[in-house]
Amino acid sequence: MYDYQAPDNLLQGKIILVTGAGDGIGRAAALSYAAHGATVILLGRTEEKLNAVYDEIEAAGYPQAAIIPLNLETAGETDFDRLAAMLEEEFGRIDGILHNASLLGIRTPIESYDPIVWQQVMQVNVNSAFMLTQALLSLTNDSEDASIIFTSSGVGRKGKAFWGAYAVSKFATEGLMQVLADELEHNQNIRVNSINPGATRTNMRVNAYPAENPENNPTPEEIMPLYLYLMGRDSRTVTGQSMNAQ
Ligand SMILES: NC(=O)c1ccc[n+]([C@@H]2O[C@H](COP(=O)([O-])OP(=O)(O)OC[C@H]3O[C@@H](n4cnc5c(N)ncnc54)[C@H](OP(=O)(O)O)[C@@H]3O)[C@@H](O)[C@H]2O)c1
């Protein structure tokens, strides 16, 4: 596991948006960021799951969260602009974005890959992350210490048979991260990196490897050190890096 011990107040006063915050790694990250003092904006497509995370944050006495139900498969430029305007009015700035929501799609050879599924996966995993980033960049300019984290995968760094659109979307995610990090190279107040969580005990992992014993993989909570490190001030000088949570 990535070795980092976060101070309790690491994210105090920070405004952090997490996509796919209702389940799996996104849920654990939202709770962990809130536990370290952040006001977390929970974005996802299933409102009940977001409500449950909101309630957990409230019950624990962490800073009050905000909920944004949004389907990243169907959301367009206008939705992201509206979201940015709403966040500007409510919070005035954004200190962190964790792009975490993703679709696995299907596991099949390129030759038989359904083009509709291909487009859905690219829309959720890449295009929506691009549009969300574009809409929120001016809000991160108002932060003294902003961090944008993209979520990659092992198959986004080395292609693997039958991983189709998912693998290609993760290569594109790494590309988006690198291009943006390079464009912002001279801005000391913002950093852009990617995390490969590695095999983690979530629904997505179970769908990808149904024959595997889930107990053999770490829980989302166990991989949080890197998520905290890259979101907090200790990673201020780190940018353009592809990192591994395990
Ligand atoms: N788990 C692993 O072993 C592993 C390994 C490598 C990389 N990753 C990456 O880690 C990230 C988190 O994965 P996970 O394992 O936690 O997956 P997960 O349990 O399936 O969670 C994915 C989250 O994304 C949300 N989401 C999916 N489609 C969406 C859409 N159209 N609009 C809004 N939200 C949407 C889901 O919402 P719903 O709850 O409503 O479905 C869910 O909250 C992903 O980027 C994944 O590619 C995971």
- Single out the catalytic residue among 33, 62, 113, 166: 166
Of the chain, the percentage scoring pLDDT greater than 70 comes to 100
Q: Tens of pLDDT along 90-140?
A: 999 999 999 999 999 999 999 999 999 999 999 999 999 999 999 999 999
pLDDT score for 139: 97
Looking at residues 146-173, what average pLDDT do you find? 98
Q: Return the number of other C-beta atoms located less than 10 Å from residue 68's C-beta.
A: 16
For the chain, the average pLDDT equals 97
pLDDT score for 1: 84
Give me the domains of the chain, ranges plus CATH numbers.
15-234 (3.40.50.720)
Looking at residues 166-195, what average pLDDT do you find? 98
* Ligand 1 centroid distance, CA of 20 (Å): 6
* Ligand 1 centroid distance, CA of 176 (Å): 18
Q: Are 162 and 107 in contact (CB under 8 A)?
A: yes
151 lines ligand 1 (CB under 6 A): yes
Using a 10 angstrom Cβ sphere, with 0-12 exposed, 13-18 middle and 19 or more buried, the burial of residue 210 is exposed
205 lines ligand 1 (CB under 6 A): yes
Tokens of 156: 């986004």
- Hey, which of 25, 43, 221 would you mutate to test ligand 1's pocket, going by the most ligand atoms within 8 Å of its Cβ? 25
pLDDT score for 95: 98
| 166 in active site | yes
Looking at residues 29-47, what average pLDDT do you find? 98
Q: Give pTM, 2 decimals.
A: 0.98
Question: In the predicted model, is pLDDT for residue 87 greater than 90?
Answer: yes
Of the chain, the percentage scoring pLDDT greater than 90 comes to 99
169 lines ligand 1 (CB under 6 A): no
46 lines ligand 1 (CB under 6 A): yes
* Ligand 1 centroid distance, CA of 44 (Å): 10
- Hey, which of 23, 42, 46, 209 would you mutate to test ligand 1's pocket, going by the most ligand atoms within 8 Å of its Cβ? 23
Q: What is the DSSP letter of 37?
A: T
Contacts of 138 (CB under 8 A, 6+ apart): 84
Q: What is the DSSP letter of 5?
A: -
Q: Return the number of other C-beta atoms located less than 10 Å from residue 9's C-beta.
A: 10
